[in-house]
């Protein structure tokens, strides 16, 4: 008798399947919402607040893309993924894009057939240790027990680092950041390793953040960025240029505060005009509204604003811009020109 | 009248395919075959188009390439440069290890609880009923998580053992209970063969001696039986048997120079001795008490299934209560207990896949977890994983069928 | 003679003595304790040991529970209120109650919908569980799946109505054709229902969900204990008919069908549920036609249903095997065909024997729904392991949450197993 729920659901699934065959950009427009894969919860990058509203740096990227494509920053379905499920979710089309501090590596790009559209955070793997342990360098960790998230590049980097330095360690595989935090605080592992930004975010949620230090070694390059499926270049371009729009906006001084004013009429700076759609046809080339970039920037501010609001030095996470400063200020954040 | 029993004559009509019992089964089977072939073809076509669209292929080459990750719990040599296949073997051995340990302890818990539940002690039987109901009605995953949390949140970390006034102390200076695991003294040999390696050959020698002792005691018992048959007097074999069991092993261990390696706090962790990791303990203990509750019910049902008349009849023959239990009640109860017991063992093996929740490196966590993630070979890994569990369960059920046939009531 | 004897006796009691109380060791609580607690020395030791166990459990648990704090908004506030005393911080349950029950994304103004569906579930289940209730209530049971679907998922009401119309059409066609043969009726009914759904599916306008009276909720927004309940109820109800079909197929005399069923059942029973869930989460997407996106909930329902139907099939096969051969022969001798014999004679008896086994499987399955937390679905265990333990204000709280989840499952599972025992007594029609 309950078969019918099943068939009803199948019928619904079949209906939604009909529309899913076209390109991702058309799918998203037809659906009216963007399915964006994020972490299951990493404060500052992507975490639901007490009301279930997602917030964070990666979430900001999702909202910007939704605003650019659909004109509505809230038209996003956030789909929490673990290290294990994220790639399958993207490959199978369950999510349209993945913004989940995922490291750009050769094999993920080439072998797993994904397309990294850019880098929104230059990170590296670090170690978090209690001050009381008296460790000042990761090379002092001989024989230590190390908590590490499974299914991530950090797990492989960790093995390489200890092997290269010829010191021994004992890995404790954990599934989510919350479990890592639990075990680290209980003392079940001496040190917790993941991306330095993630460590800072985790430490910020501790009761006494001052009792823990980040060891000076950064043992890997972890360029984190949003990614989409291989082979759908229109959609890849949309996400790539939305990210670039946020970066360019910071470079040109376009903020969520002055954007209304700048977009109202063409300004003296032709690049701002092209970016905000008051001149040129960049939006139409992407198949979007002329004001797509303006919507994206308005959603949460430009790159710098997103950074400061979610993970910057005035937040509990307190990350300095460092490598993630604008190229004009000695950092690596750089966008190709809007021309 | 004969016309009724004769099959209807005449030419073949299409409706006979469904209405004539002679053809109907062929029709259905043909239909089933067509539907099955269509389904398989549909899935095969989908898989190949999906894989082609994603630019992937089915290949097991990844098994030979280096795994790249480390495993903390391993029974064989393994490091991060070993192959994925070796990581899978480490996982298989870990699965078998925890399944074996949990089967043994679950049986002990189950038999104890099952027997005590039938005890005429009101309080004890109520307590056991409470144990059975509590553990049977709460998911095993929650039990694993609770016990793991107890492990890491209640037991002290190794740091607590440090200093002049440590917060925690080792038990008898031999055992250390930390939230990373339990450290116990480990035996090792100072003389003997193959000491440059891990000295595994010495353990084989010890095992060989134990097996020889086993057959020795069997022979002694057989001779005692023969004497009893012939003279009616049973010679006391207890001391001979004890001597056969213990003397050769003790002498051998002395010759090999057995020493105990006592765990000691060195650096971040305890070193030396044998470490039983926290995830292993949590999984082992949780599976044991959870399955123990089910086994208790099987044991109780088995004992209650032996009718009271059997006990009374045995009493009427003049058997003493101990003999009634061992010669009359137990053999009959075991016939009822063993089949469900074996399927509980099968359940333990399958439930051990929940290791992934506490980070124990069983086959699901290595092959189905980390290897799957790092290589992205989802289809291959899941298929291999299923193949492993299928093999185990087919082996166990074959064993069960053999047992069932051997204890079947022989009706003549 | 009697007189002389009467005179010779110095004293004759003419009335009976009042009954004395039994000695203190043979009455009341002392007797009970002697018999039940201290009947022998080993028994006495056991009793004392049991008392020690009970005392140690209660002495640590009771103060913790009784001192519990219910009204703070974070763990640190709890600690302030308790001022170092032992005590639970149950505030996490009151503050995050909705998240534990419904997950963290179900729209919060719509909580009444799953709650109502939950209450209606009891109304729908009552006539199935208790045979004394008026049979007319079964109509509501038949309608319940559609009502529940509409309440929980919302969206356009046309979908559940269409599903209902399809089923009704199927049943009507079945009634028409079943007189000819059961197979004709069954397949005819299925075809009719599918045709109705296919045609109806085209009629539902695009965007009907946007204007619906109840806001549409995608199934990935389901979570918490509601998800466990839904998976449990849906998968058990789906797997019973499937299980019956598999059991009959395994008993069938047609070798091909028999072997398909045997291989399916043994395959499913041989692998752990978690690998099947891996299939649902990482592999099933490759088996569907390119471009279709079936949501994770549906994929999980498919796998769990397959899993439990294999186990239920084995239980029903036991019930079929337990029937005396005479029943089959009697049905044959009445001239019933296979479908009639099964429907009217065999299955009613076999199912009755199998009910306790089926209930056991159902309880086990309900417990196993917690495994979906491993594939990052946020059921009650997934909520505890994920968002709740990551929340800053509840960092480091475990026992209250795990205890609560354990209690939820205990209440449901213990309730079902008590019901099953009652049912077993109720259905025992053999004379003793």
Q: Which residue of chain C is at minimal alpha-carbon distance from A15?
A: C201
Are the Cβ atoms of B32 and C256 closer than 8 angstroms?
yes
Q: Which residues of A lie inside 8 Å of B (Cβ-Cβ)?
A: 83-84, 87-88, 91, 107, 111-113, 132-133, 141-145, 150-152, 155-156, 158-160, 162-163, 169-175, 182-183, 186-190, 229-231
Over the stretch B333-356, which tens digit does the pLDDT of each residue have? Answer: 888 888 888 889 989 999 999 988
Radius of gyration of chain C (CA): 31
For A210, C285, C374, C396, the CA distances from C273, given in Å and listed in that order, are 44, 18, 11, 30
Asked whether residue C115 carries a pLDDT value surpassing 80, the answer given is yes
Q: Which residue of chain A is at minimal alpha-carbon distance from B148?
A: A183
We report the CATH number of the domain holding residue C264 as 1.10.3720.10
Looking at residues C314-326, what average pLDDT do you find? Answer: 88
- How many residues comprise chain B? 412
Q: Which of A83, A92, A317 to mutate to probe the C interface, most C CBs <10 Å?
A: A92
Cβ(B285)–Cβ(B149) under 8 Å? no
Q: Does the CB of B303 have a partner CB in chain A at under 8 Å?
A: no
Please state which of the four CATH numbers 3.40.50.1220, 3.30.1490.20, 1.10.3720.10, 2.40.50.430 is assigned to the domain occupying B61-153+278-412: 1.10.3720.10
Over the stretch C150-205, which tens digit does the pLDDT of each residue have? Answer: 888 887 788 888 888 888 888 888 888 877 777 778 888 888 888 888 888 777 77
Structure confidence at residue B2 (pLDDT): 44
Chain C neighbors of A21, CB-CB under 8 A: 290-291
ipTM of the complex, rounded to two decimals: 0.86
| Helices C347-368 and C224-251: angle between axes, nearest 10 degrees | 140
Q: Which residues pair with A79 in a beta bridge?
A: A37
Q: Which of A91, A150, A154, A176 to mutate to probe the B interface, most B CBs <10 Å?
A: A150
Are the Cβ atoms of A142 and B267 closer than 8 angstroms?
yes
User: Would you list the domain boundaries of chain A?
Assistant: 23-122+224-329, 125-220
Cα separation of B377 and B85, whole Å?
13
Asked whether residue C70 carries a pLDDT value surpassing 90, the answer given is no
Q: Which residues pair with B188 in a beta bridge?
A: B259
Q: Does the CB of C401 have a partner CB in chain A at under 8 Å?
A: no
Q: Does the CB of B378 have a partner CB in chain A at under 8 Å?
A: yes
- Considering only the beta carbons, identify the residue of B157, B357, B378 that sits closest to A188: B157
Cα separation of A95 and A86, whole Å?
9
Q: Which residue of chain B is at minimal alpha-carbon distance from A179?
A: B358
Domain at A125-220, CATH class: alpha beta
Radius of gyration of chain A (CA): 21
What confidence tier does B68 reach under pLDDT thresholds 50, 70, 90? confident
| Helices C158-177 and C137-153: angle between axes, nearest 10 degrees | 140
Cα separation of B87 and B385, whole Å?
13
Q: Which residue of chain B is at minimal alpha-carbon distance from C385?
A: B145
Name the one residue in this structure whose structure tokens are 């997407």. C285
* DSSP-derived pairing of the beta strands A169-174 and A144-149: parallel
Are the Cβ atoms of A51 and C193 closer than 8 angstroms?
no
Q: What is the mean pLDDT of each run of 10 residues along chain A (339 residues)?
A: 41 42 79 88 81 87 92 88 79 85 86 87 89 85 86 85 88 83 85 87 82 87 89 90 92 88 85 86 87 88 91 83 88 88
Q: Which residues pair with B176 in a beta bridge?
A: B183
Over the stretch B162-216, which tens digit does the pLDDT of each residue have? Answer: 766 777 677 777 788 888 888 888 777 777 665 555 566 777 888 888 898 888 8
Structure confidence at residue B196 (pLDDT): 56
Percent of chain C whose pLDDT exceeds 90: 17
Cα separation of B390 and B402, whole Å?
18
Chain A with chain B: Cβ pairs closer than 8 A? 107
- Considering only the beta carbons, identify the residue of A113, A150, A182 that sits closest to B369: A150
3-state SS of B348-411 is HHHHHHHHHHCCCCCHHHHHHHHHHHHHCCHHHHHHHHHHHHHHHHHHHHHHHHHHHHHHCCCC
Cα separation of A57 and A46, whole Å?
7
Cα separation of B281 and B180, whole Å?
10
Chain A neighbors of B54, CB-CB under 8 A: 91, 113, 229-230
Q: Does the CB of A288 have a partner CB in chain C at under 8 Å?
A: no
Asked whether residue C416 carries a pLDDT value surpassing 80, the answer given is yes
- Considering only the beta carbons, identify the residue of C54, C257, C275 that sits closest to B385: C275
State the nearest Cα–Cα gap between A150 and chain B, in angstroms.
6
Q: Which residue of chain A is at minimal alpha-carbon distance from B50?
A: A92
B9-13, C199-203, C231-235, C309-313: range with lowest mean pLDDT: B9-13
Cβ-Cβ contacts under 8 Å for B38 (sequence gap 6 or more): none
Are the Cβ atoms of C162 and A8 closer than 8 angstroms?
yes
Report the candidate in A73, A45, A39 with the shortest Cα–Cα distance to residue A58: A45
Structure confidence at residue B229 (pLDDT): 84
Cα separation of C398 and B146, whole Å?
8
Looking at residues C265-287, what average pLDDT do you find? Answer: 87
Cα separation of C182 and B19, whole Å?
11
Q: Does the CB of C148 have a partner CB in chain A at under 8 Å?
A: yes
Structure confidence at residue A8 (pLDDT): 44
Chain B with chain C: Cβ pairs closer than 8 A? 150
**Total domains present in chain C:** 1
Q: Which residue of chain A is at minimal alpha-carbon distance from C161?
A: A8
Kindly report the number of other CB atoms within 10 A of residue C376's CB atom: 23
First to last CA, chain C: 58
More confident residue, A55 or B274: A55
Q: Does the CB of B68 have a partner CB in chain A at under 8 Å?
A: yes
Cα separation of B407 and C3, whole Å?
78
Report the candidate in A97, A126, A100 with the shortest Cα–Cα distance to residue A41: A100
Chain A with chain C: Cβ pairs closer than 8 A? 147
Cα separation of A279 and A21, whole Å?
34
What confidence tier does C405 reach under pLDDT thresholds 50, 70, 90? very high
- Considering only the beta carbons, identify the residue of B136, B149, B356 that sits closest to C402: B149
Measured in degrees and rounded to the nearest 5, phi and psi for residue A146 equal -120, 125
What confidence tier does C47 reach under pLDDT thresholds 50, 70, 90? confident
Are the Cβ atoms of B157 and A155 closer than 8 angstroms?
no
Q: Which residues pair with C142 in a beta bridge?
A: none
- Positive or negative CA dihedral for A82, B367, C369, B345? negative
Over the stretch C242-251, which tens digit does the pLDDT of each residue have? Answer: 999 999 998 8
State the nearest Cα–Cα gap between B299 and chain C, in angstroms.
17
Structure confidence at residue B389 (pLDDT): 92
Are the Cβ atoms of C410 and B140 closer than 8 angstroms?
no
Cα separation of A176 and C385, whole Å?
8
Cβ(C163)–Cβ(C136) under 8 Å? no
Structural tokens at position B398? 């074959």
* DSSP-derived pairing of the beta strands A222-224 and A76-81: unpaired
First to last CA, chain A: 61
The top-scoring range by mean pLDDT among A37-46, B238-247, C400-409 is C400-409
What confidence tier does B228 reach under pLDDT thresholds 50, 70, 90? confident
Please state the pTM of the whole predicted model: 0.84
Cβ-Cβ contacts under 8 Å for B328 (sequence gap 6 or more): B306, B310, B311, B313, B314, B319
3-class DSSP state of B276: strand
Residue C49 lies in a domain: no
B193-197, C53-57, C338-342: range with lowest mean pLDDT: B193-197
Looking at residues B380-406, what average pLDDT do you find? Answer: 87
Neighbours of chain A (3+ CB pairs under 8 A): B, C
Chain B neighbors of A187, CB-CB under 8 A: 152, 156-160, 179
Report the candidate in A287, B42, A226 with the shortest Cα–Cα distance to residue C292: B42
Structure confidence at residue C8 (pLDDT): 67
Q: Which residue of chain C is at minimal alpha-carbon distance from A18?
A: C292
Whole-number mean pLDDT of chain C? 84
Q: Does the CB of A102 have a partner CB in chain C at under 8 Å?
A: no
Cβ(A254)–Cβ(A269) under 8 Å? no
Report the candidate in B81, B55, B135 with the shortest Cα–Cα distance to residue B295: B135
Are the Cβ atoms of A3 and C296 closer than 8 angstroms?
no
Over the stretch C196-223, which tens digit does the pLDDT of each residue have? Answer: 888 887 777 766 666 677 788 877 788 8
Cβ(A21)–Cβ(A61) under 8 Å? no
- Positive or negative CA dihedral for C199, C202, C205, C207? positive
Cα separation of B175 and B345, whole Å?
30
A55-69, A79-93, B80-94, B384-398: range with lowest mean pLDDT: A79-93
**Which CATH superfamily does the domain covering A23-122+224-329 fall into?**
Periplasmic binding protein-like II (3.40.190.10)
Chain B neighbors of A152, CB-CB under 8 A: 373
Cβ(C139)–Cβ(C258) under 8 Å? no
Cβ(C308)–Cβ(C236) under 8 Å? yes
Neighbours of chain B (3+ CB pairs under 8 A): A, C
Looking at residues B380-385, what average pLDDT do you find? Answer: 90
- Considering only the beta carbons, identify the residue of C267, C374, C413 that sits closest to B390: C267
Cα separation of B343 and C309, whole Å?
18
Domain residues for the domain of C251 are: 220-390+398-432
- Positive or negative CA dihedral for A222, A226, A228, A233? negative
Asked whether residue C337 carries a pLDDT value surpassing 70, the answer given is yes
């Amino acid at each position: 008798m309950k078969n019918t729920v099943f068939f009803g659901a199948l019928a619904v699934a079949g209906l939604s399947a009909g529309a899913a065959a076209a390109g991702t950009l058309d799918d998203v427009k037809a659906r009216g919402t963007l399915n964006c894969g994020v972490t299951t919860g990493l404060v500052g990058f992507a975490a639901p607040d007490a009301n279930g509203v997602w917030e964070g740096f990666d979430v900001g990227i999702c909202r910007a893309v939704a605003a650019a494509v659909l004109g509505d920053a809230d038209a996003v379905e956030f789909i929490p993924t673990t290290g294990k499920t994220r790639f399958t979710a993207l490959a199978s089309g369950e999510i349209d894009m993945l913004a989940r501090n995922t490291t750009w590596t050769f094999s993920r790009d080439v072998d797993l057939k994904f397309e990294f559209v850019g880098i929104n955070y230059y990170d590296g793997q670090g170690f978090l240790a209690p001050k009381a342990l008296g460790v000042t360098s990761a090379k002092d960790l001989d024989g230590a027990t190390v908590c590490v998230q499974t299914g991530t590049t950090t797990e492989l980097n960790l093995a390489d680092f200890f092997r290269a330095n010829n010191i021994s360690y004992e890995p404790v595989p954990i599934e989510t950041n919350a479990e890592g935090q639990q075990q680290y605080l209980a003392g079940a592992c001496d040190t917790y390793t993941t991306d330095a930004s993630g460590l800072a975010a985790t430490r910020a949620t501790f009761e006494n953040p001052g009792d823990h230090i980040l060891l000076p070694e950064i043992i890997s390059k972890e360029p984190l960025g949003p990614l989409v499926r291989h082979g759908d270049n229109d959609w890849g371009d949309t996400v790539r240029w939305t990210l670039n729009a946020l970066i360019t906006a910071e470079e040109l001084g376009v903020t969520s505060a002055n954007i209304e004013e700048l977009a109202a009429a063409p300004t003296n700076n032709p690049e701002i005009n092209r970016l905000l759609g008051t001149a040129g046809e960049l939006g139409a080339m992407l198949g979007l509204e002329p004001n797509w970039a303006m919507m994206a920037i308005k959603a949460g501010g430009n790159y710098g604003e997103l950074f400061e609001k979610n993970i910057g030095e005035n937040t509990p996470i307190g990350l300095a811009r460092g490598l993630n400063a604008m190229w004009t200020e000695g950092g690596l954040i750089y966008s190709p020109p809007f021309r | 009248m004969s016309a009724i029993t004769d099959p209807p004559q005449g030419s073949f009509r299409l409706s006979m395919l469904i209405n004539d019992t002679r053809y109907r089964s062929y029709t259905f089977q043909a239909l089933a075959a067509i539907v099955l072939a269509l389904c398989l073809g549909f899935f095969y076509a989908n898989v190949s188009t999906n894989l082609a669209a994603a630019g992937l292929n089915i290949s097991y080459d990844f098994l030979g390439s280096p795994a790249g990750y480390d495993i903390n719990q391993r029974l064989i040599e393994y490091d991060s440069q070993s192959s994925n296949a070796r990581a899978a073997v480490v996982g298989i051995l870990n699965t078998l290890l925890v399944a074996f340990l949990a089967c043994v302890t679950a049986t002990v818990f189950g038999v104890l609880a099952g027997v005590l539940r039938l005890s005429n002690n009101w309080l004890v039987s109520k307590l056991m009923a409470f144990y059975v109901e509590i553990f049977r009605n709460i998911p095993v995953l929650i039990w694993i998580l609770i016990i793991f949390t107890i492990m890491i949140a209640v037991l002290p970390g190794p740091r607590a053992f440090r200093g002049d006034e440590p917060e925690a102390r080792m038990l008898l200076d031999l055992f250390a209970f930390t939230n990373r695991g339990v450290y116990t003294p480990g035996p090792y040999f100072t003389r003997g063969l193959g000491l440059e390696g891990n000295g595994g050959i010495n353990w084989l020698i010890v095992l060989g001696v134990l097996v020889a002792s086993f057959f020795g005691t069997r022979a002694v018992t057989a001779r005692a039986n023969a004497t009893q048959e012939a003279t009616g007097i049973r010679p006391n074999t207890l001391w001979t048997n004890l001597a056969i069991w213990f003397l050769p092993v003790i002498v051998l261990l002395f010759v090999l120079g057995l020493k105990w390696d006592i765990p000691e706090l060195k650096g971040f962790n305890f070193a030396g001795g044998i470490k039983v990791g926290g995830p292993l303990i949590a999984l082992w203990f949780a599976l044991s008490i959870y399955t123990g509750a089910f086994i208790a019910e099987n044991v109780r049902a088995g004992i209650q299934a032996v009718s009271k008349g059997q006990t009374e009849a045995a009493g009427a023959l003049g058997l003493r209560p101990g003999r009634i239990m061992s010669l009359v009640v137990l053999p009959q109860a075991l016939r009822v207990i063993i089949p469900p017991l074996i399927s509980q063992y099968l359940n333990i093996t399958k439930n051990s896949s929940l290791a992934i929740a506490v980070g124990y490196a069983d086959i699901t966590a290595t092959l189905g977890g980390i290897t799957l993630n790092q290589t992205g070979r989802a289809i291959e890994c899941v298929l291999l994983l299923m193949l492993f569990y299928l093999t185990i369960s087919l082996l166990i059920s074959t064993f069960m069928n053999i047992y069932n046939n051997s204890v079947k009531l022989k009706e003549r | 003679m009697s007189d002389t004897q009467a005179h010779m006796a110095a004293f004759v009691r003419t009335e009976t003595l009042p009954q004395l109380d039994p000695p203190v060791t043979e009455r009341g609580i002392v007797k009970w304790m002697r018999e039940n607690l201290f009947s022998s020395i080993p028994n006495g030791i056991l009793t004392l040991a049991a008392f020690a166990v009970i005392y140690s459990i209660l002495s640590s648990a009771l103060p913790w529970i009784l001192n519990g704090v219910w009204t703070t908004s974070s763990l640190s506030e709890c600690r302030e209120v308790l001022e170092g005393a032992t005590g639970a911080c149950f505030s996490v349950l009151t503050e995050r109650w909705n998240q534990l029950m419904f997950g963290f994304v179900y729209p919060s103004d719509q909580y009444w919908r799953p709650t109502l569906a939950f209450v209606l579930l009891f109304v729908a289940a009552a006539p199935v569980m208790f045979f004394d209730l008026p049979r007319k209530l079964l109509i509501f049971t038949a309608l319940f799946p559609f009502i529940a679907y509409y309440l929980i998922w919302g969206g356009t009401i046309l979908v559940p109505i269409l599903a209902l119309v399809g089923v009704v059409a199927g049943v009507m066609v079945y009634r028409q054709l079943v007189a000819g043969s059961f197979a004709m009726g069954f397949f005819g009914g299925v075809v009719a229902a599918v045709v109705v759904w296919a045609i109806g599916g085209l009629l539902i306008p695009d965007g009907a969900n946007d204007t619906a009276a109840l806001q549409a909720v995608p199934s990935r927004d389901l979570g918490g204990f509601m998800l466990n309940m839904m998976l449990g109820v849906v998968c058990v109800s789906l797997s019973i008919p499937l299980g019956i079909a598999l059991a009959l197929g395994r008993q069938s005399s047609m070798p091909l069908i028999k072997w398909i069923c045997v291989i399916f059942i043994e395959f499913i029973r041989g692998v752990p549920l978690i690998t099947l869930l891996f299939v649902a989460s990482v592999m099933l997407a490759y088996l569907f036609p390119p471009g279709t996106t079936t949501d994770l909930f549906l994929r999980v329902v498919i796998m769990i249903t397959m899993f439990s139907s294999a186990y239920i099939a084995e239980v029903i096969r036991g019930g079929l095997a337990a029937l005396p051969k005479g029943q089959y022969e009697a049905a044959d001798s009445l001239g019933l065909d296979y479908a009639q014999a099964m429907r009217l004679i065999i299955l009613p008896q076999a199912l009755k024997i199998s009910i306790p086994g089926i209930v056991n499987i159902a309880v086990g399955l309900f417990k196993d729904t917690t495994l979906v937390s491993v594939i990052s679905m946020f059921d009650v265990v997934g909520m505890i392991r994920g968002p709740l333990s990551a929340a800053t204000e509840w960092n480091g709280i475990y026992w209250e949450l795990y205890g609560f989840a354990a209690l939820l499952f205990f209440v449901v599972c213990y309730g079902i197993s008590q019901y099953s025992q009652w049912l077993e007594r109720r259905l025992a029609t053999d004379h003793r």
